[in-house]
Amino acid sequence: MSLDDHLRSRLHARREAGLLRVLRPLEDVGPTVRHEGRDFLNFSSNDYLGLAAEPALRDALREATAAGAPASRLIVGHLKAHEEVEAALAALVARPASLLFSSGYAANVGTVPALVGPEDLILSDELNHASLIDGCRLSRAKVRIFPHADLEALERLLRDRPAAGRVLVVTDAVFSMDGDRAPLRALAELCQTHGAWLYVDEAHTVGVYGPAGAGLCAELGVEPDVLVGTLGKAFGVAGAFVAGSSALREWLLNVARSFVYSTAYPAALLPVLRAAIRQVRAADDRRAQLHAHATRLRTGLRALGFESPGDSPIVPWILGSNEAALTTSAKLADEGILGLAIRPPTVPVGTARLRLTPMATHTSSHLDQVLEAARRIER
């Protein structure tokens, strides 16, 4: 069998199982978008504060001194502007230093293996993001998965840890599919008690929680050993950063393979990131609006009899089967609403869902439209 025949067979099987993924070319970004000549309300974006289309960010592109980068940062791709942005990000999350990566995925698959190896132990929440899972695998450390947010199970694993080797506890701050928060204070206490390092991925919380958008760790007074933040969600730009001590930054720029062997973060986006950081710091009103929208949407779905766990701006609408999720998504699309289906392996089998994410820039009438459409969908 040829490669193409093999792939076509596999694609057909995914289509029959309701698991085939496709691209949808949109003409713009924001709370409303156009697709194939139609206008849609966009409730599937991670642009929580609505900054991706913010005029101040577009204007900042004019400040760029170059478009891309000539090399990796360790060769001749490093600019003074990289350091300025990293200092601003570190200040935002109240950590001594930070390092830019090309994406959140690159940050996690580079950082975890840079910190632990075959003689070490990783304790990872079972609902962690795929990038954290892959980073753990690449480290070649022994990985033990603890049940989601189960502090007793984690404590048992910490108590029974090997005498030799380092221990890294890895967790998301807010989990991207269920929208619930990790028990960060308790995790930090357990790590301190048992001499473990705490690694927190704040992909969905920096910019959304905390003083001036500093994140959930800052809001709770938790100082993890490693803090990861993404810049393509609340910041509306692209990339990610790892924040922590100055020693952590220096170590990562020497050994994190996804940093060392990647072309530098594009020069054109550095002034945009500076503008985004300023916008995030000043976005208390947007953060309040975002959380109010999420609460109203989740409460409305529950009142209609739907399952919608969590307590963050990620609002899951659990539907169960792949077919139910795809059908509900299609019904919303018929009414001009983008609420895309999330299916295995992204979520466990039998928990297919729509993952609704309001934006601060949605209006009350936008939420009315979603909840009115939900009322007309059979449970």
Mean pLDDT calculated for residue range 1-5: 95
**Nearest CA among 176, 162, 187 for reference residue 133:** 176
Query: Any bridge partners for residue 206, and if so which?
Result: 209
Q: To 10 degrees, the CA torsion angle through 167, 172, 178, 181?
A: 100
State the span(s) of the chain assigned CATH 3.90.1150.10. Answer: 22-49+284-375
Cβ neighbours of 261 (radius 10 Å):
10
What pLDDT does 316 receive? 96
Of 95-109, 218-232, 342-356, least confident by mean pLDDT is 342-356
Mean pLDDT within 315-338: 94
Length of the chain counted residue by residue: 379
Give the active site residues.
176, 204, 233
Whether residue 124 is predicted with pLDDT greater than 90 in this model: the reply is: yes
Say which CATH class 22-49+284-375 falls into: alpha beta
Q: What is the pLDDT of residue 162?
A: 87
Percent of the chain with pLDDT over 90: 93
Question: Does residue 97 contact residue 253 with C-beta atoms inside 8 Å?
Answer: no
Percent of the chain past pLDDT 70, that is, above it, reads 99
Instruction: Measure Cα distances from 257 to 110, 169, 306, 353 in Å.
Output: 6, 21, 44, 35
Contacts of 225 (CB under 8 A, 6+ apart): 191, 197, 198, 199, 244, 245, 248
* Predicted confidence band of residue 259 (pLDDT cuts 50, 70, 90): very high
Please provide the DSSP assignment of 136-149 as one string: HHHHT-EEEEEPTT
Q: Can you tell me the mean pLDDT for 65-83?
A: 94
- Which helix (H) or strand (E) is 228 found in, with range? strand 226-230
Instruction: Tell me where in the chain the CATH 3.40.640.10 domain(s) lie.
Output: 55-281
Model confidence at 163, pLDDT cuts 50, 70, 90, reads: confident
Nearest Cα neighbor of 232 from 224, 241, 223 is: 241
Position 378 pLDDT exceeds 70: no
Q: What is the pTM of this model?
A: 0.94
- Is the pLDDT score of 308 beyond 80? yes
The arrangement of secondary structure in 55-281, i.e. its CATH architecture, is 3-Layer(aba) Sandwich (3.40)
Contact assessment for residue 249 and residue 99, using Cβ atoms and an 8 Å cutoff: yes
pLDDT of residue 56: 96
Measured on CA atoms in the order 104, 353, 210, 280, is the torsion positive or negative?
positive
pLDDT confidence bin for 28, thresholds 50/70/90: confident
